[in-house]
Amino acid sequence: MDALLDEFDINIIKELEKDGRMAYSAIATALKISNTMVHQRINRLIEQGIIIEIKPIINEKKIGFDWASFTGITLNKDQDSNRIIAELKNIPEITECYYVTGSFTLYIKIVARDHEHMRKILYEKIDNIPGISKTDSIIELGCAFKRNVSL
C-alpha cells in the first residue's frame, strides 16, 4: 500500500467510486468524519495526482458509437512520438493512447459509429499523419469489465 494513502483517503476514494457525484457531506456522514476533512482530503488527492479528475464515464454504445478497436501504431522513428501523439489528440474518436513495448510504439483505442466511420478514421485521419509507418487493429466486441485497481 502506498504510504501517501491512509485509511481515510482509501475510504473516501471507495465512496467516490460508488458514486462520483456524491456530496462531500454525504461522504462525511457515511464515514463519520467532518465535511471539511473530506473536502481537504479530496483536494490533496487531486493535487498529488492520485485522483486525476472526477468526471462522467460515457457509454459510447448508448450514444451511437457501436464500433471500437485497439490499434497498434508503428512509427518510422520513435523520437517522433511526441509530435504524433499531439496529432492523435486532435482526433476525437481516439479515447486512449499508451506507450508500449514490443512490435508497436503506441497503442490506441478508437471508437466509431460504424465500420465506414472506423475506416475513415484509420485511412483518412491516422494514416495521413507523417511518421506513422503502419497500424494494426483488433476490433473490440464488448467490454467484459473495466475498473480501478483495488485499494
DSSP line for 102-140: SS-SEEEEEEESSHHHHHHIIIIIITTSTTEEEEEEEEE
Asked whether the predicted pLDDT for residue 24 surpasses 80, the reply is yes
**Between 78 and 136, whose confidence is greater?**
136
Query: Mean pLDDT, to the nearest integer, of 103-115?
Result: 96
What the chain holds in terms of domains, given with CATH numbers, is 7-48 (1.10.10.10), 60-140 (3.30.70.920)
Reported as type and span, the H/E element at residue 9 is helix 7-18
**Single-letter amino acid, residue 125:** K
Query: Region 78-103: what's the mean pLDDT?
Result: 95
Q: What pLDDT is attached to residue 55?
A: 86
Mean pLDDT of the chain: 93
Question: For residue 35, which of 53, 57, 55, 15 has the smallest C-alpha distance?
Answer: 15
Q: How confident is the model at residue 1 (pLDDT cuts 50, 70, 90)?
A: very low
Q: What are the residues whose beta carbons fall under 8 Å from the beta carbon of 106, sequence distance 6 or more?
A: 72, 73, 75, 81, 84, 85, 88, 97, 98, 99, 100
At position 83, the amino acid (one-letter code) is R
pLDDT computed for residue 107 by the predictor: 97
Task: Write down the pLDDT at residue 28.
Answer: 96
Q: For the residues 57-72, what does the mean pLDDT come to?
A: 94
3 has pLDDT over 70: no
116, 133 Cβ separation under 8 angstroms = no
> With 80 as the cut, is the pLDDT of residue 2 above it?
no
